Structure 1
């Protein structure tokens, strides 16, 4: 408004100037600047010519075009045409002065001269007083671009913007000065210098309350969430004064009273007193009013739900202390899309157009009576459901996950659940899934929903090389989580691979001089396309070769000696409706062949022969975490699985007790001898013979593996403040045997400690993360009778607990980054006799996670172990350990 007013005043001045000029010419008997002419006020002329003077950078014809005047057109001088031209040229903000003169009159033709003064053009901007990396942001925010016309309003607006910007950040004494100077490198250009003096941040020294009798100063100060007075121990929340936060906190203060029955409480005044350049005192005067209580609460207009049903959801009773904040939340909780309130109760049952308003009908003494007035509206059904933004993912993959179908009743809860399901797919940016309610028709009772999606990369490639285990290790991994098997023979669908059907295809190859690993996995989440039945098929093969040290200290590899593990598994998992539709029941059948050829490295009890494992796994899981699978903020995820082999020994005639006794007797003798190179020649020969016999007996014992394995894992996600999330985790595992004479199998064991990354050995082991300790260092030791060494064979029971605080730095589709801190405790044991759930190894630390669609999860953790590891020779705490995380679960 101020700008328009200034322009109008300038236009008026120019018009008066024109009239005075013409009047002066009349008074001087028609003498003009060019020649003697006859001129009459308000006479109609034909424009005979127009010249432009004062040009510096603009072309004359361009300015003539701006005026809209044409030679030969009728024109009244003085008249509205001249005023309109002046107003138009001023409105362009390209000129700092505009004047129009007439130079000649020939009969009915008039010749005009337009004199302009061009505004200078901005050539460059220099900013002092801020960090270099902040300069670009200032130039973008103020739109100070090269070529911009310099105006008084541009300078004033830039100055005001910057001063307000820094005041909002707590720099109340911020000063900004702007100067311009001619730039001789260009025509009519000027450079600009901005000098910012932020000064010190103004801190709050003290907060003084006046008028509060019912609530203490401490209680009121606590209600000011973002406005805190300066204290030496406060690190989490700063004490700087920010006006926007302060105004919000004054509302919170009133809400604090409203939550305790003081509905009439208000802030009478709030002032701040400047103590010095860097500190202020806040003075807040309140009026508390009287304390009130809920009286009668009656429902009016409800037919879908009874008064009793509505009262149960409202949760407020006569005689309770009045709580205005709680009342609003029970009517409509805007902070929770799935909140338990009356509005959601109606909207989850199809009544989108319902409205619920609490009205105070009377106040008797200290009791307030309410009517909850409800307009239920017409029952609403979904008409059209559409999706946009899915450039790669096929429509059917999306629609099968939606809980909102055309013809269904409108349900807000179904929309929230649909957003979660789409986010869990991992194909879209969970932060940008937006349901758009379109074409609401209260009369017809219909509404449309459009889900706007943004595709996120869902394929990953792992290509790495390094040195370890005595040689170079190369790894190639390909994972496609939105694969399309049906288009595998369609050459046009390779972009770079067939995509869009939501299937998973993963291939991983790893090799070095000492081992080779091949694995292939395929999963179809909707087998048959009609129901959420997940089919999974995996093939794997591992080969490890025997190694020895040469005289020169090099590692020699003997590929004629070694062991291999070949495995295949297939599984089905179905989402069920009971107890709720977050549950999944899974079944899988797997077979592993363990083949040994003159190989004994302590991991297994025999070095020749083979073992067979045929197992069935049954699992129950419930997953409600969301909205994103990368950074879940709510919900939980738990899984209980049981893996079982047939109890072969119950159906055979083999006396495994006798086998076990023979193994024990021969093992005791081996321990007595002490090793293959100790004792007499006869004892050495006996050691070799007994070792062979023990290995044969062990192979006989484990020819057909029989065991059962129970595991539980639970994760709970709690949103604390903003996006600060607490992840609570508990895990437990137990490996048991049907026949005590056979004992626990040498495979399928638990290795606890370290980064939790599995290695190339596919022997069914579970590698359990416990940061602050070296990998597998918490796994108990046992003595190998053949080698005579203490070795980690894996535990048969473990438990683990952890707390993890997470906060996202960015959740963009290109890269999701979050920081974390953790507390962990856990341990592994050889058997139940040794098991003690309170004998835990503790650790704490911090970490960082980066998820990039092309590479998966990357991260680093710094953990401190407070206890010693499982090695009998370890003394003192484990200390600081660094863990690198690659491709681990979220």
Structure 2
């Protein structure tokens, strides 16, 4: 054979070259034709049977079903049916080998054998190199579930996913190795072992630029928002390298040039240089190009707004340095849903289908002329407005807050406002309120809106016990913020109480050996159901008993002596349209009755028996635009001015309170003289008692009807710094005045500054002002007996940086840092707004729907407080926050 082969080669090489290629071409053509003929000549049979071999875990009938072949069907062998079956079984990725054999032929019947090799089944996954709590997340993310078939693509995709996952987090050297081994637990089963080596995070040691002359390296590094080089002082923005962030930052680099007029600037190259295992250097080469200026800017296609109106919104004039980023924002600012741009100008006036496109029409030398081409489209109206997801809250409570109603013009601003209003209700998760624009019809000029809501817990329970004031204090509070009074007698509506009408019903009980407090509050936000008029009604009752400590330092209360306040108030608050519809004007009438029974140890007044009355009118003006989330506002502001008045009884009655004051001075001097004797006689002691009785009668007459006026201001502003990092700035001021200097300032309604800001059990109108870093009420003027008497004027300023850790419906958590300063004064003459008690610190807030707001603050007071013998800074103080405002 070898010889024949050699002769053949020798003879073949004597054939001319072109003849050789011609022969080869015809040979290939003949072979292809023969194969095609063989396929076409496949013989037709009737499938007599099919046997499946190689099975381990699958049922034979199941595999037969997968093939789609049926006994008795016509089949051509060889033919397309067999090829299709094999291809289909391969596509299932359940088998590593599929072969079809002919076993026998009986007449026109053919019998086939399908031999398969099953892929192994995954039984268990073990992950090394990560924390145990992260293992479940990895298994879920990669879908490595028990029973899954192990394929090459599964292993490769899992490996790729894990390495990319950690590289995105800055671990550029991350490696994942995956191995499988037989598992005796089941038939044809294997376990998988994943070993992850993240390595250290790769940091950027240097970012170098080439080709930049117009913008400095410092300015360009600043333009890289998420990609920073290592600096010892940088703690907020990390210097780890993340490729996706870096690619985004390269686009921001070009934008930095565009903002300065360099329209043609581009990144020529960027080089990744490995310094060592944990550090890299980035080298970026740029081409700056020439600086450009805006030329003529003409508007084309506008009929709704004039050129002058549009130019005013655009805010760019001929001769200004070219700024491509600014031009985009003035056309359509994607970063702000309520931005002042031309797109919003049209969309807020019903032109949903408008399209604004800036086009460069000429670029001569360094000047670029633009046409702002506008397609206004048809004026758009709302056809259907729907709300879904409200399982507890009644529809009318939601629809009355909507700023988008069927038949109205489409307005993007109204949609944004609706999201805020629904979020402020507190009944829904503000982070998940999603408006869905549906069925847009440019020809008809109509569109539908559907708001998707997720109910959030709106009721709160306060159940706590603690030790304070020398004894145990127990508190029970229930607050139902989506109450339904009209279903109060409907037994089926109790789940556990009638809900769904947006009303507020709150009950609070607090008691200890020394005091008892009862309060009840009801509020209807839409009195009558047609206008946003809020009605509020509240009742309160507090009793404070005389106390002393026994020889074992345990508190003992004498319930035969005490001080009680009974109060009732009713108010109306109406949302108004001017100056804008964020404003609310409120009116309230209140009455409180103070009753004293042998109780004069508060240090604020000198009568221990008798009664005092207070009838007040309160006028409030407020503006609240903070939102969209009431728990964690991202923007907006909230300010409130209130003025509280009592009638000027002394001016009306004409009574000479100066004579009463003079008589009190005489009596007090007599008491002081007699009391300063070294050994007062029994007659002197009796005289002191008699004089004190006269003082009490005069004091009771002086404060029979309290008269005062009280002015408060509070403002909060929320500024979004970056992402969800929010700066809250706050300013507060309060002043308590009187109509008649002979009467002086009332002993109630005062300002107590310092500490956590939580209210206490005394309902004497006092205001508890938070000033972290100081003990409770320690920045408060003192009475003659050394107890806090309260200030008649105070001011406070604070700044908080807030960042949310989670804003889920089950719990909203955010961290904060603060700077704070405030003080209280005994009279206006002492007031100095710059004489502040300063503090700084950090804290955490947790809001859970069932329990309200919980938190903790660590504050450092830099100054001494107002208590006697207070020297040096207040130092570190820990404050626990329960139920305070957000």
- With the shorter chain as reference, the TM-score category is over 0.9
Q: CA deviation at 1:675?
A: 7.1
Cα distance, 1:383–1:678 mapped onto 2, change above 3 Å: farther
Q: Deviations over 1:821-877 (max 9, x none)?
A: 111100001101111111110111111101010100111111111111111211111
Cα distance, 1:634–1:253 mapped onto 2, change above 3 Å: same
Cα distance, 1:866–1:672 mapped onto 2, change above 3 Å: farther
Alpha carbons 2:361, 2:369 under 8 Å: kept: yes
Cα distance, 1:593–1:627 mapped onto 2, change above 3 Å: same
**Residues of 1 paired with 2:474 and 2:350: CA distance?**
57
Q: CA deviation at 1:678?
A: 6.0
**Residues of 2 paired with 1:689 and 1:601: CA distance?**
18
Alpha carbons 2:567, 2:591 under 8 Å: kept: yes
Question: Which residue of structure 1 aligns with residue 564 of structure 2?
Answer: 564
Q: CA deviation at 1:169?
A: 1.5
Question: Which residue of structure 2 aligns with residue 690 of structure 1?
Answer: 691
Q: Deviations over 1:784-817 (max 9, x none)?
A: xxxxx22211111100000011000000011000
SS at match of 1:782: coil
Alpha carbons 1:757, 1:888 under 8 Å: kept: yes
Question: Which residue of structure 1 aligns with residue 14 of structure 2?
Answer: none
> Which stretch shifts more, 596-605 or 515-524?
596-605
Question: Which residue of structure 1 aligns with residue 637 of structure 2?
Answer: 636
1:84-163 alignment, distance < 5 Å: 84-163=84-163
SS at match of 1:791: coil
Q: Deviations over 1:380-400 (max 9, x none)?
A: 111111100011111111111
1:821 aligns with 2:817: yes
Question: Which residue of structure 1 aligns with residue 458 of structure 2?
Answer: 458
1:801 aligns with 2:834: no
Cα distance, 1:782–1:305 mapped onto 2, change above 3 Å: same
Alpha carbons 1:351, 1:377 under 8 Å: kept: yes
Question: Which residue of structure 1 aligns with residue 27 of structure 2?
Answer: none
SS at match of 1:191: strand
Alpha carbons 2:471, 2:554 under 8 Å: kept: no
Q: Deviations over 1:310-346 (max 9, x none)?
A: 0000000000000000000000000000000000000
**Residues of 1 paired with 2:759 and 2:542: CA distance?**
13
**Residues of 1 paired with 2:423 and 2:601: CA distance?**
45
**Residues of 2 paired with 1:399 and 1:601: CA distance?**
54
Question: Which residue of structure 2 aligns with residue 848 of structure 1?
Answer: 844
1:538-617 alignment, distance < 5 Å: 538-605=538-605, 606-617=607-618
Alpha carbons 1:181, 1:190 under 8 Å: kept: yes
Q: CA deviation at 1:152?
A: 0.8
1:737 aligns with 2:738: yes
**Residues of 2 paired with 1:848 and 1:552: CA distance?**
38
Q: CA deviation at 1:138?
A: 1.2
Alpha carbons 1:676, 1:688 under 8 Å: kept: no
1:50-449 alignment, distance < 5 Å: 50-449=50-449
Cα distance, 1:826–1:105 mapped onto 2, change above 3 Å: same
Question: Which residue of structure 2 aligns with residue 33 of structure 1?
Answer: none
Give the CA RMSD over aligned residues.
1.6
Cα distance, 1:676–1:557 mapped onto 2, change above 3 Å: farther
Alpha carbons 1:378, 1:443 under 8 Å: kept: yes
**Residues of 1 paired with 2:74 and 2:579: CA distance?**
86
Q: CA deviation at 1:680?
A: 3.9
**Residues of 1 paired with 2:40 and 2:613: CA distance?**
117
Alpha carbons 1:675, 1:684 under 8 Å: kept: no
Q: Deviations over 1:628-684 (max 9, x none)?
A: 111111000000000000000011132100111111222233344457996443433
Q: Normalised by the size of structure 1, how large is the TM-score?
A: 0.94
**Residues of 1 paired with 2:234 and 2:62: CA distance?**
63
Q: CA deviation at 1:252?
A: 0.4
> Which stretch shifts more, 78-87 or 133-142?
133-142
**Residues of 1 paired with 2:239 and 2:817: CA distance?**
25
SS at match of 1:238: coil
**Residues of 2 paired with 1:209 and 1:287: CA distance?**
11
Cα distance, 1:57–1:880 mapped onto 2, change above 3 Å: same
Question: Which residue of structure 2 aligns with residue 20 of structure 1?
Answer: none
**Residues of 1 paired with 2:603 and 2:759: CA distance?**
16
1:670 aligns with 2:671: yes
1:857 aligns with 2:853: yes
Q: CA deviation at 1:557?
A: 1.8
Question: Which residue of structure 2 aligns with residue 707 of structure 1?
Answer: 708
Q: CA deviation at 1:494?
A: 0.7
Q: CA deviation at 1:688?
A: 2.1
Alpha carbons 1:517, 1:760 under 8 Å: kept: yes
| Structure 1 unaligned residues grouped into runs of 5+ | 1-22, 27-38, 784-788
Question: Which residue of structure 2 aligns with residue 722 of structure 1?
Answer: 723
SS at match of 2:662: helix
Question: Which residue of structure 1 aligns with residue 21 of structure 2?
Answer: none
Q: Deviations over 1:687-741 (max 9, x none)?
A: 3222222221111100011000000000000000100000000000000000000
Q: Normalised by the size of structure 2, how large is the TM-score?
A: 0.94
SS at match of 1:836: coil
Question: Which residue of structure 1 aligns with residue 23 of structure 2?
Answer: none
> Which stretch shifts more, 159-168 or 308-317?
159-168
**Residues of 2 paired with 1:677 and 1:726: CA distance?**
62
Q: CA deviation at 1:412?
A: 0.5
SS at match of 1:313: helix
Question: Which residue of structure 2 aligns with residue 773 of structure 1?
Answer: 774
| Equivalenced residues, count | 850
Question: Which residue of structure 1 aligns with residue 491 of structure 2?
Answer: 491
Alpha carbons 1:778, 1:828 under 8 Å: kept: yes
Q: CA deviation at 1:62?
A: 1.1
Q: Deviations over 1:74-95 (max 9, x none)?
A: 1111111111110111111110
Q: CA deviation at 1:603?
A: 4.4
Q: CA deviation at 1:474?
A: 1.9
Question: Which residue of structure 2 aligns with residue 14 of structure 1?
Answer: none
**Residues of 2 paired with 1:146 and 1:526: CA distance?**
56
> Which of residues 823, 828, 834 is equivalent to 1:832?
828
Alpha carbons 1:677, 1:684 under 8 Å: kept: no
SS at match of 2:370: strand
Alpha carbons 1:676, 1:687 under 8 Å: kept: no
**Residues of 2 paired with 1:641 and 1:81: CA distance?**
87
Q: CA deviation at 1:237?
A: 1.1
Cα distance, 1:403–1:109 mapped onto 2, change above 3 Å: same
Q: CA deviation at 1:231?
A: 1.6
Q: CA deviation at 1:535?
A: 0.5
Q: CA deviation at 1:41?
A: 5.8
Q: CA deviation at 1:536?
A: 0.4
> Which stretch shifts more, 797-806 or 654-663?
654-663
Q: CA deviation at 1:373?
A: 0.5
Alpha carbons 1:678, 1:684 under 8 Å: kept: no
SS at match of 2:241: coil
Alpha carbons 1:591, 1:614 under 8 Å: kept: yes
